[in-house]
Structure formats: structure tokens, C-alpha cells
A and B are shown apart, each in its own frame.
Chain A
Amino acid sequence: MPTPNKQPANPAELIIDEAIAENQWRLLPQSEEGSEISAETLAPGKVILPFSIWSALKGSLTERASEIGVWLDSDESADLIGTDATTLPLIAVNFPAFTDGRGFTTGRLLRERYGFQGELRAVGAFIRDQLTYLRRCGFNAFAYEGEQPLKKLLDSMYDFSESYQTSVDQPLPMFRRRSL
């Protein structure tokens, strides 16, 4: 039986589109009694649901579509949301440990394969020095849990002025841009 991942925090402030912003979303943790939640009992307002709950309720939440987001844990792949991504205003991806890099793939696939245009939010234990890579994989929001002031994190959004490979921020690899 695998131990459940650490649940992401939901800080009051975060970085969105390279600026510090107020967090307007609640984040519902995964929980044993999660299955008890229904469309009727879900409190109003913007909420990010764990994938399992969203997946069970999505059919009955269509009228609240603009305030229902979903978060994926690191072992939940982008394929689980698939093309539903285009209907979501926000998807969060959890990094239970900053060394767990599955979320980088999840971010790219949501953007590149499933056409997700909304807010892609990194949640969990990621660190400042991963912001460049996260941004390149399509993340535009960062709900940072660590000790460092958010203002300092903004300094690590663009650690590299150039990049070799295809990614969300630069669809053309360098070999297609070298004017060969």
C-alpha cells in the first residue's frame, strides 16, 4: 500500500503571470471522506478539487464551470483529464517533493497535447530554482510553500536567456532557429 503523498498547502499569496497576487481559490485536500462531497454540499466560490472528486462530480458541476478547478497529484497523469482540460479555468499540479519531477511532464502534456489555456498552477514543495523549468513546461502560477519571500522567487523565472529544446514557452528547438 503506497503512502499517500503530502497534501499541498494553499498559501494566501502566490505568483501569477510573474506578479505577486492574492490567492482566490480554495484547495480541497484528498481525504477519506472525500467521496461524501456532492455537487450540492460543495460550498460556493472558487475551489480546486482533487482529481478523484472532480472526476466523480464533473457531470453535475457544469453550471459552476468557471469556479471549479482540479488538482493532480504527482502520480496522476495529464491523460486523466485529457481533452476536458479545455473546459477548465485552472489546473494545479502537486509536487509532493521538489525532487519528484513527474509534474513537469504533466504540465507540458496539458498545454501541448490537451490544449489547456487556463491557469496552470504549481502547488506543493517545488523550490525557487525550479521556476524557470516550470515556466518552460507551461506553468504560469506558483503557490510556493517555502520560506523564501515571493519577491525573490521572481528573480528565478528566467535563469536562461536561450534554450535548446522544444517546450511550451518556445515551440521551436534551437536547430530550427539557427538560420541554417
Chain B
Amino acid sequence: MNDVQSYLIIASILFSLGVFGVITKRNAIAILMGIELILNAANINFIAFNRFGGMERLDGHVFAIFIIVLAAAEAAVALAIIINLFRNIGTVNVDEAQELKG
């Protein structure tokens, strides 16, 4: 595990799983989980490039921490939206949320 490829492969698997989740799931919470996977795939990339890219400072780490914080905030906001969605239409199925459809 001392080369950058293995990390990138793991990250892209994670990313693909995330995208797959986002695209195929109808449940809003499952979509949110897919987004978390995509963000974490990006985190792994940052860390991997920081380590194997010959950098002396901790730029990648800082970025990863930022993204984690960002993901937490995003999850909080998204969950609040989903709760409101549930209150309004009684389900978290995104196909049902189509009042704005022209």
C-alpha cells in the first residue's frame, strides 16, 4: 500500500458507489448517503496526493478536515430539508416532490 494508485482506485470505487447511490435511490436519505460517499472519495484523494505528491505542508489534511466540516453542515441542512419535505408530503421519496414541475 505504498503507491498512490491503490488509494486512487479505492477512492474511485467509493466515488462510483456514491454516484450510483445518488442516481438510483429514490429515498432522499439514501441520496444524502451517496453524497457523503462522494465527498469521502474526494477526501481520500486529497490525503493520498498530500502524502505521495511530495508536499511538505499539510494542505491536503486541512482540506480534508474542511470537507468533513462542510459535509456535517451539509448533512444538517439537508436533513432539515428532508424533514420538512416529509412534513409536507408525508414521504421522503424524491419522485413524489414534484409540485414545482411545470
Partners in one complex: no
